[in-house]
Each structure stands twice: as structure tokens, then as C-alpha cells.
């Protein structure tokens, strides 16, 4: 199937120009002015932007957590992603403690089987390592295209690893060319603070935030940076929320260390005011690290502008408010941690980042697509508009008025973190490898069109098959 997109304003991390894009056999084969080609489908993109399909490096679909399972499976989560202009994501496999990585991978592949709407890769979350077993198996994961290891420094008694496991994983990564990712919060200290709060009778959602202070995030971020430097491994700190964590990342980057950080959409818009809402509404905003005070919003905008932070993900980890979050009605520590976000990342960052002048359109594309693709071994197959790249393309109408509301979303959850927010600018047509996924309000493609993408090792490029000589 061939597609011709006429007269759109092509915006990549580097460029901004008007041209036609011709797509053949799933890849972009020609870009030029007034292309005289016939195509099976012609899309008039005059007055519209043509963006690369966005890449979300941080999601949790169909994941058991906190005594329940996230409400979005691969099909509903990826459908939400497609409507938001995201055509590729990297989801977390969680190694059940004591299980082999091969078993965990098989379990996660089975969850995706036949349901995939967009392309996806996997990170492996390491929860324990055994000498003569999983420690050795870890080194073979990059051969399967799993080129990043994630470790939780928080969630004591569940997902948290000790510094030995953290450091040994970093040592393996330094040998295998994998990128180490950390959830950086000091889980031991948080555990103490949570127990003290509950003993004092403080059970409301607000105490989720008050027992996970910025210092706990700053300390763990700095510890991970120092240990990764010692092990010689590249490090990516997920969901950075506050000055205490931005500063050590910025210092390490100034020193030339292989350290990167991401933040997530919600940390620019939600705050302690939200989690303090009465009648358990605050539970909608229970995710970790927690919401911070509003002063950190500017810290984060400055960080993504200056490249102290290099990517914006969603950490989509959706639960129902009514029926799942309510597990913690009488005890904030039992509220499943996580929030939805896959559908509205581009809406929110375009409106309050690009349109508000906080980041350029080029930088927006870099934060939402190009840098995630580069850091996670998907570039230039994903993350840009270029000849030879996958034809993952978003025709974006910068003038379309759109109101964000749970009533119209494609995620299965019953609320939205940005409920009622009005934005100008929304995806109009979304293509995955030349297949029309979304057109207007319709999902055009059927589940099964998405594929697993084996990723390249850290720092290496990934090319579409047709582009490989």
C-alpha cells in the first residue's frame, strides 16, 4: 500500500519545512516538493503538521500491582496511545521474584498476542538475581532485543532491590550494552514514614505524598548516579519530579557522565492541591513518585528546556478510581499507585509547552519521540520523519479545539488527570508503518497490526528492514 501526504509542515527534532511525504511498503520512501506520484491513499495535510509517530518509553499495561491488575490491557492501552499520536511504546516486563527472565518474557508476550494496535518493545524490571541463574540470564536479554534493565529502589517488600542487586545489574549492563533505568526513591525511609503516618491515624491519600518527600527521591537519584558511574553503566532515571532529583542529574550531565532523566506529563500539571482533594478524589492522583508542590512545575519546564531532562513519558499505569483505587479507602498505603496518561501527552505538551512558548515545536518532538527512540535503541526506524524510517506519522491539526475528558477517552479507566482541560491542537490521522490507525474519531486498523520491535543496544542504531543494505 502506498500513501501520499501532501503539503504538510514536517516537524522533526531538527527541521521544520513544508513538503510531501510518500510512503511505500511501510517506510517513508521519498520526501519532496510537489511530488508527482499516484498513491493508494492521498492525505491533504495543508495547514497541518506532519510529526513522527510519538514514542512513549514508559508504560505499564496489563500489569499486576498492589493486589490488582492495571485496567488497560495491551489493546485498550495501545488504542488510547494511537489516538494520542503515540505509535510505539516500551512497556515494562516485571520479573516475578524467583522467576526466570525467559518465563517473564513469555508471559508478557502472551498478554500482547493478537492485541497489538501499535508497535512495542520491552524493558525488563529486575526484582532479584541468582548466581548461576538469572544473573547469567540477564546478560542474554539484549539478544532478544530487550536492551534496558529497570530497577526499583522503592516499594519495599514488593519490587524493591537492594544496592547489591542494583550494582550487579549495572555491572552486567556495562558489559552487554544495556541501559540501566531506575525508579529512584529511598524505599527504606519511605517505609518508616508510611508506618509512622498510619500509626498516627493519618490514612488519607494526601499522606501518600507526605510520606514520599523530595529528599527521598533526591537521595536515591544521586545514589544511582554514583553507583552507575562506578560500574561504568549508562543510566536513565525515570519519572523525575523535583529539584532534589533534577540537580544531581544536571551535575552528572555537566560532568559528561552517561546519565539521562525523564519526567512525565502529569508532573507539570498535578500538585499537592490535587491529592488533597476531599471525598477520596485525591486517590486519582496517587502515583509514585508523588505529586509535588507547584514550585516544581517551573523546575521541570526549565529542565526539559535545558536538556537536564531529555524525555517526557506518561508512566501510564491506569486503575479505576471506583473499584481499584478504593482498595485504599481507609489506608492510603493500599491505594494502587499509578495514573493514566497515554492518550493526552501530545495534547498537553503541545498546548502548555509549545503553544505557551516553554519549548519549541522541534524540542517537543525531540522530548516525545526522537530522544526516547535514540535512548532506547529504536532510532532512526522510529522517532523521526526521514527516508528509510518507518512510516509512523501523525498528521496533526494545530487549530482543532479539543476538550480532554474521561467520557470520551479510549483508556478503560473512569477518570482523567486533566479532566475538562481545553486545548488547541489534536492528531487527525495517525499512521503506523503506512497503515492508517486513526482517522478523525475512528480507529481504522484492527488489533494485530502492531508488532514487537527488538531494540538495538544502547548507542546503536536500528534501521527498518528495507533500509538495511
Which residues of this protein are in contact with Zn ion, per CB under 5 A? 315
> CB under 8 Å to 403, separation ≥6 — which residues?
420, 421, 422, 423
Least distance CB 190 / Zn ion (angstroms): 16
> For Zn ion, which is the closer residue by CB, 315 or 351?
315
The residue length of the chain stands at 469
Contact status, residue 342 vs residue 314, Cβ threshold 8 Å? yes
Residue closest to 394 by CA, chosen among 426, 418, 349: 426
Question: What is the Cα–Cα distance from 336 to 70, expressed in whole angstroms?
Answer: 9
Question: What is the Cα–Cα distance from 382 to 35, expressed in whole angstroms?
Answer: 24
> For Zn ion, which is the closer residue by CB, 123 or 363?
123
Least distance CB 281 / Zn ion (angstroms): 22
> For Zn ion, which is the closer residue by CB, 72 or 315?
315
Least distance CB 131 / Zn ion (angstroms): 28
Question: What is the Cα–Cα distance from 19 to 387, expressed in whole angstroms?
Answer: 13
Contact status, residue 392 vs residue 406, Cβ threshold 8 Å? no
> CB under 8 Å to 366, separation ≥6 — which residues?
13
> For Zn ion, which is the closer residue by CB, 219 or 315?
315
Least distance CB 152 / Zn ion (angstroms): 9
Least distance CB 28 / Zn ion (angstroms): 31
> For Zn ion, which is the closer residue by CB, 84 or 425?
84
> For Zn ion, which is the closer residue by CB, 274 or 315?
315
Least distance CB 125 / Zn ion (angstroms): 9
Question: How much of the chain is in helix, strand and coil states, percent to nearest 5?
Answer: 35, 25, 40
> For Zn ion, which is the closer residue by CB, 183 or 350?
183
Quote the strand ranges of 33-161, DSSP E: 41-44, 49-52, 54-59, 64-65, 68-69, 86-94, 119-125, 148-152
Residue closest to 53 by CA, chosen among 6, 122, 117: 117
Instruction: Compute the half-sphere exposure of residue 83: CA atoms within 13 Å on the CB side of its CA.
Output: 19
> For Zn ion, which is the closer residue by CB, 186 or 389?
186
Eight-class DSSP state of 452: B
Grid coordinates given for 321: 478510581
Question: What is the Cα–Cα distance from 412 to 409, expressed in whole angstroms?
Answer: 8
Least distance CB 123 / Zn ion (angstroms): 10
Least distance CB 97 / Zn ion (angstroms): 18
> For Zn ion, which is the closer residue by CB, 209 or 438?
209
Instruction: Compute the half-sphere exposure of residue 368: CA atoms within 13 Å on the CB side of its CA.
Output: 32
Question: What is the Cα–Cα distance from 257 to 230, expressed in whole angstroms?
Answer: 11
User: CB neighbours (10 Å) of residue 294?
Assistant: 12
Contact status, residue 55 vs residue 84, Cβ threshold 8 Å? no
> For Zn ion, which is the closer residue by CB, 311 or 464?
311
Contact status, residue 83 vs residue 75, Cβ threshold 8 Å? no
Contact status, residue 234 vs residue 197, Cβ threshold 8 Å? no
Least distance CB 350 / Zn ion (angstroms): 23
> For Zn ion, which is the closer residue by CB, 318 or 386?
318
Least distance CB 405 / Zn ion (angstroms): 24
Contact status, residue 290 vs residue 330, Cβ threshold 8 Å? no
Grid coordinates given for 227: 553507583
Contact status, residue 101 vs residue 149, Cβ threshold 8 Å? no
> For Zn ion, which is the closer residue by CB, 20 or 315?
315
Least distance CB 345 / Zn ion (angstroms): 14
Question: What is the Cα–Cα distance from 152 to 267, expressed in whole angstroms?
Answer: 19
For Zn ion, the nearest residue by Cβ is 315
Residue closest to 57 by CA, chosen among 308, 264, 286, 337: 264
Least distance CB 461 / Zn ion (angstroms): 26
Amino acid at each position: 500500500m502506498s500513501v501520499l501526504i501532501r503539503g504538510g509542515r514536517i516537524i522533526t527534532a531538527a527541521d521544520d519545512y513544508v513538503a510531501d511525504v510518500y510512503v511505500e511498503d511501510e517506510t517513508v520512501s521519498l520526501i519532496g516538493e510537489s511530488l508527482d506520484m499516484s498513491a493508494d491513499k492521498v492525505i491533504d495535510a495543508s495547514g497541518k503538521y506532519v510529526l513522527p509517530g510519538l514514542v512513549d518509553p514508559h508504560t505499564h499495561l496489563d500489569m499486576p500491582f498492589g493486589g490488582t491488575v492495571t485496567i488497560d490491557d495491551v489493546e485498550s492501552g495501545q488504542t488510547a496511545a494511537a489516538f494520542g499520536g503515540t505509535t510505539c511504546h516500551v512497556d515494562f516486563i516485571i520479573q516475578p521474584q524467583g522467576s526466570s527472565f525467559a518465563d517473564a518474557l513469555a508471559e508478557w508476550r502472551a498478554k500482547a498476542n493478537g492485541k497489538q494496535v501499535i508497535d512495542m518493545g520491552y524493558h525488563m524490571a529486575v526484582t532479584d538475581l541468582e548466581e548461576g541463574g538469572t544473573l547469567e540470564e540477564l546478560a542474554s536479554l539484549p539478544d532478544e532485543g530487550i536492551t534496558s534493565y529497570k530497577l526499583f529502589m522503592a516499594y519495599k517488600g514488593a519490587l524493591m532491590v537492594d544496592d547489591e542487586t542494583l550494582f550487579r545489574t549495572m555491572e552486567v549492563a556495562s558489559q552487554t550494552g544495556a541501559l540501566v533505568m531506575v525508579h529512584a526513591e529511598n524505599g527504606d525511609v519511605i517505609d518508616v514514614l508510611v508506618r509512622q503516618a498510619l500509626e498516627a491515624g493519618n490514612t488519607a491519600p494526601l499522606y501518600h505524598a507526605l510520606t514520599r518527600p523530595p529528599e527521598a527521591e533526591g537521595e536515591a537519584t544521586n545514589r544511582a548516579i554514583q553507583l552507575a558511574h562506578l560500574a561504568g553503566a549508562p543510566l536513565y532515571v525515570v519519572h523525575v519530579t523535583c529539584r532534589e532529583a533534577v540537580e544531581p542529574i544536571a551535575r552528572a550531565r555537566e560532568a559528561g557522565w552517561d546519565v539521562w532523566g525523564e519526567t512525565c506529563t502529569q508532573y507539570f500539571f498535578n500538585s499537592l492541591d490535587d491529592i488533597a482533594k476531599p471525598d477520596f478524589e485525591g486517590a486519582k492522583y496517587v502515583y509514585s513518585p508523588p505529586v509535588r508542590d507547584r514550585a516544581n512545575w517551573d523546575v521541570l519546564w526549565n529542565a526539559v528546556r535545558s536538556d537536564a531532562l531529555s524525555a517526557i513519558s506518561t508512566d501510564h499505569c491506569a486503575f479505576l478510581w471506583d473499584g481499584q483505587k478504593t482498595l485504599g479507602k481507609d489506608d492510603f498505603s493500599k491505594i494502587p499507585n499509578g495514573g493514566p496518561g497515554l492518550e493526552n501527552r501530545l495534547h498537553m505538551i503541545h498546548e502548555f509547552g509549545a503553544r505557551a512558548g516553554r519549548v519549541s515545536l522541534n524540542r517537543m518532538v525531540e522530548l516525545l519521540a526522537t530522544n526516547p527512540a535514540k535512548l532506547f535503541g529504536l532510532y532512526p526506524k522510529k522517532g523521526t520523519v526521514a527516508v528509510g524510517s518507518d512510516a509512523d506519522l501523525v498528521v496533526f491539526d494545530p487549530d482543532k479545539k479539543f476538550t480532554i475528558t474521561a467520557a470520551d477517552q479510549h483508556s478503560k479507566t473512569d477518570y482523567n488527570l486533566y479532566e475538562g482541560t481545553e486545548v488547541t491542537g489534536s492528531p487527525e490521522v495517525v499512521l503506523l508503518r503506512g497503515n492508517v490507525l486513526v482517522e478523525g474519531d475512528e480507529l481504522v486498523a484492527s488489533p494485530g497490526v502492531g508488532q514487537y520491535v527488538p531494540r538495538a543496544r544502547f548507542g546503536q542504531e536500528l534501521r527498518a528492514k528495507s533500509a538495511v543494505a
